[in-house]
Amino acid sequence: MAQRFEQPVTVQLQTNITQDGETEQFDFNLPGRLVVINGTVYLRYVETDDGVESPVTFKLNREDDVVLTRGGANDLRMHFLEGKAVTTNYRTPYGMMSVEVATAEVSARISEDLSTGRIAVDYQLLAGEQLIGDYQIRLQFTA
């Protein structure tokens, strides 16, 4: 039988996106859930953009190995491995698009009592040889 622990958390998320020399910053304060299943930690919350809800899950494999899954209209699964590039498919309203996720830095830290945590990721998205943008995710959660 699977061992499971779950608790409500507050998620503070900041995303910086730089495309064509312009940087946009997005800040969110959201309710979420921290779930631990058989020792694997998942952080789940729902983003709302223009009335459209997108479920988001961060799976924390190790401090330097994080998987981000976003559902909804733009279905996406990105695997962040520090210093590595991983190819993934990104479903958009216009169809599937293959993108490369080149992770410069990734860090995931959680307190022993699971009451607080931080995730930081710096990465680039590329379509073929073309740079889509530079991205920074800074996430904190508290129970």
For 81-108, give the DSSP string. Answer: ETT-EEEEEEEETTEEEEEEEEEEEEEE
Burial environment of residue 56 by CB neighbours within 10 A (0 to 12, 13 to 18, 19 or more): buried
Gap between the Cα atoms of 24 and 18, Å rounded: 6
Angle 59-37-78 from CA coordinates, rounded to 5°: 15
State pTM to two decimals.
0.90
Average pLDDT of the segment spanning 49-57: 87
pLDDT at residue number 92: 74
Gap between the Cα atoms of 78 and 68, Å rounded: 5
For the chain, the domains span 4-142
**Per-residue pLDDT tens digits for 18-49:** 999 999 999 999 999 999 999 899 999 998 87
pLDDT at residue number 65: 93
Specify the CATH number of the domain 4-142.
2.40.128.20
Q: How confident is the model at residue 116 (pLDDT cuts 50, 70, 90)?
A: very high
Gap between the Cα atoms of 5 and 84, Å rounded: 31
Query: Among residues 95, 87, 100, which one has the least CA distance to residue 127?
Result: 100
pLDDT, the chain, mean: 92
pLDDT at residue number 1: 59
Q: SS3 breakdown of the chain: % helix, strand, coil, rounded to 5?
A: 0, 80, 20
